[in-house]
Amino acid sequence: MNQTVVSLRDRQYSVYFQNDMKHGENWIRHHVQRQILIITNAEVANLFLEKFVRTLPSTHVVETYYVPDGEQAKSLTHYEAIIKYLIENHYHRDTTLIGLGGGVIGDLTGFVAATYCRGVPYIHIPTTLLAQVDSSIGGKTGINHVLGKNMMGAVYQPTAVGIFYEVLLTLPERAYIAGLAEVVKYGLIQDAHFFEWIEQNTHKIRARDQVALMYLIQHCCEIKAGIVAQDEHDHGVRRLLNFGHTFGHALEAASEYSLYLHGEAVSLGMVMASRMSNELGYLSSSECLRIEQLLINLSLPVKLFEPISIRPLRDLMARDKKNSSTDPCFILLDGIGKAKLVYKVSSNLINKVVISCHESALVD
Ligand code: NAD
Ligand code: GLY
């Protein structure tokens, strides 16, 4: 069984890579406490819950809590309902929470774990590509507020992460493609060779070729683990993982989390941030085109789905968590494979790159 270790200052945990979920029993039993609550949704549960429960020790108490599918589950309402369920059903600190699902389930489960009884252990079983390559590692947990994405949360690390490649076979095409945006992001911010590998293996990636996927997922997890090890609390290099996310999160919130999948918004955000990097002279036009061509080849969006008003988008960006004042912070590219933070960007340039992604975007 392959594993990647996330080494933090005061502790470490493993990300386990296996094809078949049934092999999870080899490691899961070492990480669970007496009382287990699996948090999932009906879609994921129908596919994997029965098989997953068989990996847990039969001596333990195992129950399941269901939240609705989709981004709406990352809300105060559902967070509070889970806390109420835990209290009413006498869950104590000898509880392990398990998030079985995509990034939404993972972020929500992690935030409940971070706050219930001032913290109980949790395990991630990410079932989307996006969650396997990104959200399940690094302990960023949280829920949304109508005024902004992930505005309530905590950095709280899981006890272990279990990646099973087989779960990706049932993932709807749109969700699978959306996850590829975070994959491309890793190449862009720190690994030009990996970016090139993605370019050369687009067909295999699109076809979900198992060998290509195993390499791709493990490589992304290693990059992420390395970045988190250097900067667990997001004060420095970890911020670069937000390439494309300043625009992306604002696009998601502006459309009330209903128009774009997270990865689609990140793809558009990466196009805007690349064009901004080009306008500021950090990224050549040919590199900018190369990035967009790869996104197109992977069927990721490079054009907004609908016209948008830019002023509300700029207001949302001004509230982004990365900002130190109301100046939105952008992660820009200094060439493919190298990223940097830039704080002072004119409103005109923000308008220009958004308009470049939809000719009917409205400035006010
Ligand atoms: P998601 O969790 O909504 O899952 C996408 C869809 O796929 C859902 O309908 C889900 O039910 C379904 N699904 C999940 N696994 C499946 C499977 N194996 N087969 C069939 N259907 C399956 O979306 P996502 O893209 O995984 O996650 C997006 C969320 O992740 C966003 O809220 C984003 O903010 C968050 N995120 C967090 C971090 C972090 O570091 N914490 C990083 C990136 C993204
Ligand atoms: N997905 C961004 C981070 O983990 O920092």
pLDDT digit string, tens, across residues 122-143: 999 999 999 999 999 999 999 9
Domains of the chain, with CATH numbers?
2-170 (3.40.50.1970), 173-356 (1.20.1090.10)
Instruction: Enumerate residues 6+ apart whose C-beta is below 8 A from 112.
Output: 39, 79, 82, 83, 86, 97, 122
- Report which residue type is found at 176: Y
Compute CA 306 distance to the chain's CA centroid, rounded to the nearest angstrom.
24
Higher pLDDT, 63 or 318: 63
Q: Are strands 140-145 and 148-155 parallel, antiparallel or unpaired?
A: antiparallel
Residue located nearest, by CA, to atom 3 of ligand 2: 241
Residues facing 97 on adjacent strands:
37, 122
Residue located nearest, by CA, to atom 2 of ligand 2: 241
- Which pLDDT score, from 0 to 100, does residue 223 have? 98
Q: How far is the CA of 88 from the centre of ligand 2 (A)?
A: 33
3-state SS of the chain is: CEEEEEECCCCEEEEEEECCHHHHHHHHCCCCCCEEEEEECHHHHHHHHHHHHCCCCCCCEEEEEECCCCHHHCCHHHHHHHHHHHHHCCCCCCEEEEEEECHHHHHHHHHHHHHHHHCCCEEEEECCHHHHHHHCCCCEEEEEECCEEEEEEEECCCCEEEEEHHHHHHCCHHHHHHHHHHHHHHHHHHCHHHHHHHHHCHHHHHCCCHHHHHHHHHHHHHHHHHHHHHCCCCCCHHHHHHCCHHHHHHHHHHCCCCCCCHHHHHHHHHHHHHHHHHHCCCCCHHHHHHHHHHHHHCCCCCCCCCCCEHHHHHHHHHCCCCCCCCCCCEEEECCCCCEEEECCCCHHHHHHHHHCCCCCCECC
pLDDT band at 191 (very low <50, low <70, confident <90, very high): very high
Q: Give the number of whichever ligand sits closest to the CA of residue 141.
A: 1
Q: How far is the CA of 137 from the centre of ligand 2 (A)?
A: 8
Identify the CA nearest to 44 among candidates 171, 174, 161, 173.
171
Predicted confidence (pLDDT) at residue 175 exceeds the cutoff of 80: yes
Distance of alpha carbon 289 from alpha carbon 297, whole angstroms: 12
CB 140 near ligand 2, within 6 Å: yes
pLDDT band at 364 (very low <50, low <70, confident <90, very high): low
CB 71 near ligand 1, within 6 Å: yes
- Which pLDDT score, from 0 to 100, does residue 351 have? 92
- Which pLDDT score, from 0 to 100, does residue 316 have? 86
Mean pLDDT, residues 235-260? 93
What's the Cα-to-Cα distance from 130 to each of 136, 217, 262, 328, rounded to whole Å? 9, 10, 9, 25
Distance of alpha carbon 132 from alpha carbon 19, whole angstroms: 13
Contact by Cβ (8 Å): 310, 354: yes
Mean pLDDT, residues 332-339? 98
CB 262 near ligand 2, within 6 Å: no
Contact by Cβ (8 Å): 78, 84: no
pLDDT band at 58 (very low <50, low <70, confident <90, very high): very high
Mean pLDDT value across the chain: 95
